[in-house]
Every structure is written in structure tokens, then in C-alpha cells.
Structure 1
Amino acid sequence: MDLDDARKLWQPEPGWLNTATYGLPAEPTWAALQEALGQWRAGRNAVETWNATTDRSRAAFARLVDVPAGDVAVGSAVSQLLAPVAAALPAGATVVVPEVEFTSNLFPWLVQAERGVEVRTVPLEGLVDAIDERTDLVAFSLVQSADGRIAPYDEIVAAARAHGALVSVDATQACGWLPFDGSRADAVVVGAYKWLAAPRGAAFGYLAPRLRERMRPDAAGWFAGRDPYDSYYGPPLRLADDARRFDISPAWFCYVGAAAALELLAEIGVPAIRDHDVALANRFLTGLGRPPGESAIVTVDVPGAQEKLERAGVRAAVRAGRVRASFHVYTSEEDVDLALNALTG
């Protein structure tokens, strides 16, 4: 689908520069949710249809990050998907994490301290050099939530492989605008309510086969069964043979929306979205006299910025005392200029 045509499927109010907090639904997502809510309200039997959207979402996510759909588990949050990965670490393991890391990709490792798991935090720019023979796993956000910095994915993977370490990537702030090969990592987890523009409550985790062999599906329920519809009652344990054994029962309406959202992004193509998003981010930076970058998320330190943007009706975020602006497929040049006029006027 042509990006210009696709952009007509969104109808945001002017001034939304906050996708790094949450993404906005396109018309197909909104319509799918309204239909499902109508079915729920009327008591129409649509459960199997709603469940089917989970596998549609799984397939679309796999397509977006270049992994097999059978290696993708579905859940509700990044930390929930990472929990069995953290629990599978051997006692006394060492995990290396950037020092300014979103806590959903930090707390799951820290809570393993009672088993002797050590978490070493280092500056992002020093992450590659910090990976050594003592490292069991390196965990990092592909794009940092706080400031939009892009981690050196290839270099981190190469360093980890050289020392036999596992690689776990939180791609929540990347997936949907930044192309990358998820299969190079051992785990890739994504909360879908930001750049994937799905409802909050849908999350995806690529779990490589060699990692799954170490993991135990402690949260297994009926949806993790080999045949979920034959897994309602009684033993024996009969879990799926692939990553679905780590599924949790899906929040139906989240996945109804996610299927439509992810399929649309896959149809548009992430490279085209990246070019659009980064061009707008650089228009914003250039307008403030800053050098251009490569990220769809930027932070700026402008006196009184929050108040100036609020008066102009621009919605952005403040992180670590700096304004964080983020740009996505539905952002326009007019949105950028509205923000620039507010900050420089």
C-alpha cells in the first residue's frame, strides 16, 4: 500500500507527537474494535472469530520482524513475556543491561537476585565492550525510550555470540518504524500499543528454539495447549510444541485491534514508514538548529518547552526533564511546524 494513501486511514487531531507513549488507531483497527464490541454487547457468539485474530496478529508480527510465526508467543506485556526467560537463567548468571533502560526490561532480571543472578548496568555506548566471557545474557532496548537512541544491534549480537551469551531485545520503541532482523536475537519482545498502533494489552515475543529449550511455561493455560479447544479440562499436560506453549489466554479485543493494525503496517512496509518518520524528526531537529539524526524519537532541551507546546495544543512527553517528540506514519509536516512555531515563536 502506498504510504500517502495509507495515511488517510488515520484522523488524529493536529499536534500528536507522542507515539512513544502510545500509538493511534487507523480506521481498520477502529472499525474492527467497534464490530467486536457490538458483537459482545449483543451477545453474538464470536469467540472463535476473536481468538482467530490472535493468530493473525502473530503472523503479522512475525512478518514485521522476519521470524517464523511458530517462534512467536503472545502475551499482554513485555515484562510478562520476559519472566520465563529470566527464570531460565542459571543460578549465578550475569546479565548486562544499559544503565538507562526501561524497567520492564530491567526488573525481570533484577528479581532473580535471590538466585545469585547479577545485573551489570553500563552506559549504552559501552554495552558492546562490556560483553565478555562472564556474560550469560545481554538485554537492551533496540531504541531507547528515554531519548530515542538506537542501539548498535549488529555489534551487540556479534559480541554476544563471540562469548556465547544470549541476546534479549525489547523492540517496543522500534517495531513498526525501524526495520530489523529479529531472528538474529534469542528473544525479541514488543508491547504493541506504541509504534504498532494496537490497543494496550497485546504483546509479542519471538523466542528462538534454542532459548525455548531452557524455558519452562509456568503460566501455561488452555491457550498454550497443542489444540486449545481440546485443552479445556483435565490431564495429561498437552502443550504446543512451538512458542505457543508460552502464550497466555488473549485479551480478545486487544487482539481484534492488533490484527488489523499489524496487517496494515506490514502492508505499508516498515522501510517506507521509517523514511517518513525520520524525515519528520529531522525537520523538527533542523527547525531547532539541531543536527539531524536517524531516529523517530528525539529529545530537546528548550526552556519552557512543555508549557509552550501545551498552549499550542501539541502533545508530547517529558522524560528526564527534556521534551520527547516522536513521529509516526500519521504525523504530518503541519504537526511538526505547529510544534516548531510554539517552541521558537
Structure 2
Amino acid sequence: MDFAELWDPEPGWLNTASYGLPPRVAWEALQGVLADWRVGATSWEPWDESTTRSRESFARLVGADPADVFVGSTVSAALVPIAAALPDGAKVLTDDVEFTSNVFPWKVHEDRGVELVAVPGDQLVAAIRPGIDLVAVSAVQSSTGAVLDLAAVVAASKEVGALLVIDASQALGWLPLTVDGIDALVAHTYKWLMSPRGATLGYLSPRLQERCRPSAAGWYAGRTVQGSYYGSQMDLAPGARKFDQSPAWFSFVGAAPALELIEQIGVETIHRHNLDLANEFRAGLGLPPSDSAIVSTNLAGAQQAFEAAGIRAAVRDGKLRASFHIYTTTADVHQALTALKPLLQKQLEGGLGPG
């Protein structure tokens, strides 16, 4: 089956690492509820069924129990209870190019002695030593596309008794992942999960749930949501649901069918498709194959060449970043390489290798 037919991309979209394009089924679901909202055709409860569907689909994608999955709006807000639970003087280890949604929540606790240690990605596993209380790192780095050796990080963290918190925003949806050995795994869904911005999902291990205070608890974190509207009594939901933030309904209306479609296609299928195209692009640049759907290059003039050709990518940390997902086609890759061909020829004549 040609899965690309389930989307409606304009040719030349190579920027899923910034935001993913909605599959038609998600777009149509969202249009339906927006039409209902416009005229007041229904109450909100039918919209909220999508939150439950999203939670359950996310749980299946990462091999978790839905009872250990919470919903929210942003990665940084999802990490707040974990950071608050760290003891004074705790030491947190991260990658030195980590996206700041997985940096600032720890650094704001520096006034009570929490120390953030940042090392280059290729030194991360070696830096997981006694004295590290928590490792906070992305499964795939936003700026470089580097894929974490998750098995090695899990093993090293377990050996020293450190908690492990994974930001899977640049991974989940194309890279096979499970929560085995992980204490928290959080992902915003608007990138590779191709959902509206505003829907974040996360896993909290039972041992971490016990350590964290649900300090942002509101009516949606109640054991019975509709029984938690009013009054001074609090009866929070069991499991990770007590960490729920009141969901942005329409974001989850788009997220549920998008996540379920990823399940239907299969992450392994998406993984192969994305890597095939990314490595075809890398080969055209003269780069060796990689294990990432994100390609980062410092080819001089690449951004301008892409813009002139109508190709949408991004620049991160001074490098052109192209990202390849299930709706990307071989024609997109060829269009991109054609746009860069004069630059590659100039580079070759100058005796410079790509980087």
C-alpha cells in the first residue's frame, strides 16, 4: 500500500522535526468537531473520548500499561513534578545539545543545589557514574538527529541506581521504543506523531509515581472527572492519571486517529521507509548511511538553495536539518538533491567533503 496517499503534502516538505503533517483521517476528525464547536452542536464529553483513545494508543506504542500514562500539553510541564521530587543537591546528567524542554525544568532547581551536568552525546554513557541521580536525555537529538544508544543508557543508569527520563518527541512515531528500564518517557505529539500542537503524552513508572507530588492537579486529575468540579474535597485518580493536565480537546481529537494510524501502519514499517529515504539523501550528499530519519549538514548555501527551490526544511545550530517521514517520497529526495547539486559540485571542485 502507498501510505503517502493518506496525506496531502505539498512536494518538498522535509521538516517533520519541526512539525508533522496530519493524516487525512486526523484532519477530517478535527474539522468535524470544529464545525460542532462553531454552532454548539454537542457537549464536550464526546470530544474527550479522544483523550482516552490517545492515552491507550500511546501506551500500546511504547509497551506501557495505560494506567501508567498521563496526558498534558508540553514536555517541560510534564517534567515539573519529577524535577520537584529531586532531593536538594541532586545531580542530573544530560546531553550538551539537549533541547531545553528537558533542561530548564532541572536548572530552575539550581537554587536548592540541583546540579545539571552536560556532556557530548558520545560521552553520555561513560558519564553515568555513581553520584548521578537522574539521566535526562532525548531518544533522538533535535539539532543533530543523533539516535541514543538507549539500551546502553538503560543499563548504565540501572547499574548506578539513577532515574532515567527520556524525551521521545523526535523519536516516537518512527523509531521503535518501549519503556522497559525507563522511569519516564514523554513525547509531544505534533512532530512525528503528526498531531495538533497541544497534546503531550507520557509514561511514569510506578516507582516514580510514588516519589512525585501531582502539584498541578485539577478537576481532570480526579478519580471521577465529573465528580471533581466543585468543593474542597479531593479524591485523585489512581496511577499516572493523577498527573493529568486538563487536555486541549481539539488537539487530542486530532491526535487519536493519527496515533492509531501509526499503529495500523506499524512503526517498523515507518522506520524502514524513513531510513531508506534519509540514507538516499545522505548518499547524494556523499555522507555515510545513518540510523536516523534526521539529516544534518553544514553544506554552505544549502538553506538558500532549498528556499529557492521551494523545499521546506530547517536550520538548527547553524546546520541545515532535513527530516523524512512516512509521507515523504523519493521524488522529494530527488528534488532536494537537485537543488543542492550545484553546491555539491562546487564543494567537490574545492576538495571539501560534506559535513
TM-score (norm 1): 0.98
Aligned to 2:254: 257
Aligned to 2:142: 145
Q: How far apart, CA to CA, are the structure 1 residues paired with 2:303 and 2:155?
A: 40
Q: How far apart, CA to CA, are the structure 1 residues paired with 2:285 and 2:163?
A: 40
Offset at 1:173? 0.2
Aligned residue among 127, 130, 147 for 1:130: 127
Asked if 1:177 corresponds to 2:203, the answer is no
Aligned residue among 333, 336, 341 for 1:336: 333
Q: Is the 8 A contact 1:39 1:46 kept in 2?
A: no
Offset at 1:110? 0.4
Aligned to 1:156: 153
Aligned to 1:63: 60
Aligned to 2:111: 114
Aligned residue among 11, 16, 20 for 2:17: 20
Give SS of 2:232's match. coil
Q: How far apart, CA to CA, are the structure 2 residues paired with 1:15 and 1:50?
A: 33
Aligned residue among 287, 303, 309 for 1:306: 303
Once the two structures are superposed, residues 202-242 of structure 1 have per-residue CA deviations (whole angstroms, 9 ceiling, x without a partner) of 00110000001000011101100001011111132100011
Aligned residue among 297, 312, 317 for 1:315: 312
Aligned to 2:349: none
Q: How far apart, CA to CA, are the structure 1 residues paired with 2:204 and 2:125?
A: 22
Q: How far apart, CA to CA, are the structure 2 residues paired with 1:258 and 1:44?
A: 21
Aligned to 1:167: 164
Offset at 1:320? 1.5
Asked if 1:215 corresponds to 2:231, the answer is no
Q: Once the two structures are aligned, what percentage of the paired residues are identical?
A: 55
Aligned to 2:350: none
Aligned residue among 15, 34, 37 for 1:40: 37
Offset at 1:322? 1.0
Q: How far apart, CA to CA, are the structure 2 residues paired with 1:194 and 1:46?
A: 29
Aligned to 2:186: 189
- Structure 1 residues without counterparts, runs of 5 or longer: none
Q: How far apart, CA to CA, are the structure 1 residues paired with 2:165 and 2:53?
A: 24
Q: Which residues in structure 2 correspond to 1:221-260 (within 5 Å)?
A: 221-260=218-257
Offset at 1:7? 2.0
Q: How far apart, CA to CA, are the structure 1 residues paired with 2:133 and 2:300?
A: 43
Aligned partner letter, 2:154 = V
Once the two structures are superposed, residues 9-55 of structure 1 have per-residue CA deviations (whole angstroms, 9 ceiling, x without a partner) of 10100000000000001110100000000000010123111111101
Q: Which runs of 4+ in 1 moved over 4 A?
A: none
What RMSD in Å do the two structures reach over aligned CA positions? 0.8
Aligned residue among 64, 73, 76 for 2:73: 76
Q: How far apart, CA to CA, are the structure 2 residues paired with 1:125 and 1:210?
A: 29
Once the two structures are superposed, residues 275-318 of structure 1 have per-residue CA deviations (whole angstroms, 9 ceiling, x without a partner) of 00000000000011111111000111212111100111100001
Asked if 1:202 corresponds to 2:199, the answer is yes
TM-score (norm 2): 0.95
Q: How far apart, CA to CA, are the structure 2 residues paired with 1:38 and 1:134?
A: 55
Once the two structures are superposed, residues 70-92 of structure 1 have per-residue CA deviations (whole angstroms, 9 ceiling, x without a partner) of 10110000000001110011111
Offset at 1:183? 3.1
Offset at 1:132? 1.2
Once the two structures are superposed, residues 92-131 of structure 1 have per-residue CA deviations (whole angstroms, 9 ceiling, x without a partner) of 1110111111000000010011111111111111111111
Aligned partner letter, 2:111 = E
Aligned partner letter, 2:207 = R
Q: Is the 8 A contact 1:183 1:208 kept in 2?
A: no
Q: How far apart, CA to CA, are the structure 2 residues paired with 1:183 and 1:242?
A: 18
Q: How far apart, CA to CA, are the structure 2 residues paired with 1:200 and 1:15?
A: 22
Aligned partner letter, 1:41 = R
Work out the number of aligned pairs and report it: 342
Offset at 1:178? 0.1
Asked if 1:90 corresponds to 2:78, the answer is no
Name the CA shift for 1:301/1:97 in 2 (closer, same or farther; >3 Å). same
